[in-house]
Each structure stands twice: as structure tokens, then as C-alpha cells.
Amino acid sequence: MELLSTNVCFNGEHRRYRHHSAALDCEMEFAVFLPPAAIGSESRTVPVLYWLSGLTCTDQNFMQKAGALKRAAELGLAIVCPDTSPRGLGLPGEDDSYDFGSGAGFYINATRQPWAPHYRMYDYVVKEIPQLVESNLPVTEERSISGHSMGGHGALIAALKNPGHYQSVSAFAPIAHPSACPWGKKAFEGYLGSDTAAWEEWDTTLLIPGAKERLPLLIDQGTADNFLEEQLYPEALADACEKVHHPIHLHMRRGYDHSYFFIASFIDEHLDHHARALGLLR
């Protein structure tokens, strides 16, 4: 881990690191916020919230725009933000569109060439980054996960596919049924191929019936989100949860859009949700 930068923030510390990823076979950057409890004179290890960002984002969007660090500092909660894809590999077509390739890894493990050797973002965020962070920074193995849009999709599938791995999960405006929407179809066909049966293990709505753990889903969705009808499908996820009695708290936020203004408005509620599950708040 190469330390790229550090900033004091709310008496904690925001850091950016670079490292070589074995899962992705390339250099990657990520951000960490360590609360005062983890770096002070009486420091202790603290639990972690992993945040997965959306299309076109890097690790920096959430840290700079979400307004999460003050509450995280108060709670004693670390936050880790990975990037959204490998970068600069020179693969054909990797920079041709905003919704595929660079900035659009979709948190799945690609099986099609030329993506398969590098676009394994699921393994990266579920396995490699937690191992790296927990081995090198003052954090515990107690973890939760959240994300926005494509990252909300990533957070939900990570939790559903790994019972016991996370203490809690939440999402803002997640791509809840990617097999049925243009963003998801493009990504899945490009990374996985045209056999739609191979898509099912990466689709939250389709994973719900067979989930081995009924971890409650906390989801916020803006009613003025311009991607709501075509891309996000929260109603399909809610229906799937209702059929198998999977707990879901879906908040439709009147007038809110898809932006970080929306996230910043409700991020404290999500942080408190995770803090309760991690034993930081009663």
C-alpha cells in the first residue's frame, strides 16, 4: 500500500492509497476515512463501512460530496471507498462509453475476453480490499456495505451472496434488477456473454428468493430520479422481497433525484443503520 495523500478531517484522517491488485492484475487506488477513535492517543480498532460508488465515479466522489465523514467520526466508523473499475489497461473499447468499461465494472466477475483477466470487481471488493485493509489499518473484521446506483447493486449482491460476511447493507437508488434494464443488459452481455442464465447470480431481485440470510435491506430512492423508470426497478425488488418475507425498508423520497445532493440528505440515517448493526450505536 502506497500512501498517496492524507487530510485531517473532523479530527480523523482521510487517506488515499495505491496498491497492486492480485484480483484485477493492475494498479488500483482507493480511499479510507479513519475516525478519531482509530488514530488518537488511545486509539482502538474500529469497524468498517465499505462504500461502492456508481457509474463514472472514483473513490473520491463519495468522500468529497456525501457529507458522511462528520457522522462517521462521531460514531467511530471507518469508511473504505474502492474505485469502480480497473483503469488504463488499454483494452479495446474500455473508454468508448460511460456505462461499460472504465468506471463501469458493475462489481461482477467478468468471464468474457478481454475483460475476464481484469474486470473481477466482485472479488476485489468482497475479498481483496477487506483483506488488505484489515491487515494494514486499525480496523476490525466487523464490516457493513453500502453504495449508490451501480454501487447499490454491488452492495446488495455482495451481502446476499455472502451470508455472515456483513453486519448490514444499504443502498441509494440501486440498479435493483440489472437483467431487465439497459445498463445491466449492456454490462452483463459485455462481461458475461449472451446466456442470460449466467446473469442471474449477479441480479439482486433474482437472488432474493434463494438468499441464505435474510439481512434487512435499507434502500432510499428519489421519486424525481430520471433513471427510476428505465434503469432502477425498485418495485421489482420490493415484490421479490414480499414474496419470501425478506425484510426491506424502501423509502421513496419525494422530489429527490439521483445526485449526491440526494445521498447527502439521508447519509446520516444510513450511517446510523450500520452503526447499530456494528454495535456502535444503540
**Could you give the residue numbers annotated as active site?**
149, 225, 258
Dist. CA 122–CA 188, nearest whole Å: 13
Check if the beta carbon of residue 91 is closer than 8 Å to that of residue 191: no
Using CA atoms, how far apart are residues 55 and 81, in angstroms rounded to an integer?
14
Q: Phi/psi zone of residue 271: left (φ > 0), alpha (ψ -120 to 50 degrees), beta?
A: alpha
In whole angstroms, how far apart are CA 67 and each of 13, 128, 159, 170? 15, 27, 24, 17
CA distance readout (Å), 146 to 25, 67, 150, 172, 197 = 25, 15, 11, 8, 26
* Of the candidates 179, 103, 109, 168, the residue with the CA atom closest to the CA atom of residue 142: 168
Helices vs. strands in the chain: H and E counts, helices first: 10, 9
Q: 114 preceded by cis ω (within 30°)?
A: yes
Q: What's the CA dihedral at 179, 182, 184, 185 to 10 degrees?
A: 60
